[in-house]
Amino acid sequence: MTSPLSRRIVLASRPQGEPALSDFRLEETPLPAPGPGQVLLRTEYLSLDPYMRGRMSAAPSYAPPVAIGETMVGGTVSRVEESAHPEFATGDWVVGMSGWQSRAVLDGASLRNLGARFEHPSLQLGALGMTGFTAYMGLLDIGQPQAGETVVVAAASGAVGSIVGQIARIKGCRIVGIAGGADKCDYVLRELGFDACIDHRTPDFAARLAEACPQGIDVYFESVGGAVFDAVLPLLNLRARVPMCGLISSYNATALPAGPDRLALLQGMLIKKRIRMQGFIVFDDYGHRFGEFYQAMSGWLAEGRIRFREDIVDGLENAPAAFIGLLSGRNFGKLLVRIGQD
C-alpha cells in the first residue's frame, strides 16, 4: 500500500498585525501508517476560530504557539480511513484536532467517535462543539442570567454570539445584539429573534445601544472588546456579570492603544458597581460539563429553539483567506472549511 498523503497548511511566518497569505504555506507530506491505538483520518470539516490568531504569535498565551513550519492547529470532523484501534472502524465519523490538513494519524484516545451514520456532522464543530459549549458555559455559569434581565451579546450574528443570545432568550431575558452591518443585524433580529440589534459601524452606536438597553445591562458576553466594550461599560448595572471568551478587536494589534490609561478606571467601575469580569477557556475550565451541555443543546436544536448558521468555504487552500476575513468580521455565521476529496 502506498503511503497516504496529507495536504496541510503550515505557519510560514509570524504575522505582524493582520495575518497575510504569505504567513501560511500549503505543503504535501506522506503520513506514517497508524500504529497500535491510532487511526488514519480524512478531514471533512475544519473549524476556523478567532483563538487561532493567538497561536500564531510567540507571545505567551494560554496555549503554546504553533511553531514556524508546523501545521496550524484546529478542530476537525473527519472520517476514519484506516484503524488500528479496536473502537474505530473505517467510515466512522470522529471529532478531533487534526488541524489544517486533509489527513492525519491520531491516537484514538484523543477522538470522539460519532459512529458510521451521522446527520449534519459539521454541527459538531459549531452549535454542538466548542462554539456552542463556549456560549452555554460562559452565559449560564459566569453570566447567570435571570428572567427579565438584559443580556447584551457582542458579535451577535457570529458562531458563539448567536447561541448566547438564543439561550438567553430561552431563559427569559431581554436580548440585545451588537453586530457589524445591516445584513447581520437584520438576521439577528428576524431569524434569531433578538429584541434589538445595534450595528457597531454606525456613528451613533453608543447612543443607540443605550437606547436599546433602557434598564441597563445585566450580562455582557464579551468576545470583541475595543469600541464595543467602551459603549457597553457605562451601561453595566450594579452586580453585572461579564463573561469573556475573546477579544477579537485586539488580536491583530501590534501596540497598545494611545492613552489615557483606563486600567484603573475599569477597576474603579468594577468596584463601584460590584461587577464580575471573568475570562474562561471552555474545555479547560468546563470540560467535565460537556455531557450536560451536549444534551441540552441537542434538545434545543431538535425543538427548533436554537438556529445556527454556517458559513462554509470549500477547499483547504482557501482556509488562510477565510481566516484572515474572520478576524475582520467578513464571515456570516460559523466559519468552516469543507476539505473535500483529494
- Tell me: does residue 255 bind a second copy (CB under 8 A): yes
C-alpha cell at 326: 474572520
Site string for a second copy, 198-227 (x = CB under 8 A): ------------------------x--xx-
Considering only the stretches 75-83, 181-189, 200-208, 254-262, report the one whose residues sit in contact with a second copy under the rule CB under 8 A: 254-262
Shortest separation between residue 295's beta carbon and a second copy, angstroms: 25
Q: Which of residues 258-287 bind a second copy (CB under 8 A)?
A: 258-281, 284-285
Nearest to 135 by CA among 286, 327, 249, 313: 286
Gap between the Cα atoms of 120 and 129, Å rounded: 12
Q: From the CB of 27, what's the least distance to a second copy, in Å?
A: 30
Name the one range near a second copy by CB under 8 A: 5-13, 59-67, 76-84, 119-127. 59-67
DSSP string, 275-292: -EEEE--HHHHHGGGHHH
Listed in sequence order, the residues at least 6 apart from 175 whose beta carbon sits closer than 8 Å to its beta carbon are 150, 151, 152, 153, 165, 168, 169, 194, 195
Query: From the CB of 233, what's the least distance to a second copy, in Å?
Result: 9
In terms of CB distance, is 79 or 241 closer to a second copy? 241
15 to 54, contacts with a second copy by CB under 8 A?
A: 54
Distances in Å between the alpha carbon of 335 and those of 44, 54, 129, 139, 158? Answer: 14, 17, 13, 21, 9
Closest separation between CB of residue 110 and a second copy, Å? 22
- Measured from the CB atom, is 112 or 274 closer to a second copy? 274
* Residue 284 to residue 128: CA distance in whole angstroms: 17
Binding mask 228-247 for a second copy (x = CB under 8 A): -x--------xx----xxxx
Output the smallest distance, CB 246 to a second copy, in A.
Answer: 7
In angstroms, rounded to a whole number, what is the distance separating the alpha carbons of residues 188 and 196?
Answer: 8
Q: Choose, by CB under 8 A, the member of 1, 109, 256, 302 that binds a second copy.
A: 256
User: CB 20 → a second copy: shortest distance, Å?
Assistant: 23
> Which three cell numbers mark 239?
452586580
The cell for 141 is 455559569
Looking only at residues 60 through 79 of this chain, which bind a second copy when binding is defined by CB under 8 A?
60-62
How many whole angstroms separate alpha carbon 290 and alpha carbon 196? 30
**How many residues form the binding site for a second copy (CB under 8 A)?**
46
Residue 69: helix, strand or coil by DSSP? coil
Q: Least Å distance between CB 195 and a second copy?
A: 26
Query: What are the φ and ψ backbone dihedral angles of 48, each rounded to 5 degrees?
Result: -110, 125
Residues lying near a second copy in the complex (CB under 8 A): 54, 60-62, 222, 225-226, 229, 238-239, 244-247, 249-250, 253, 255-281, 284-285
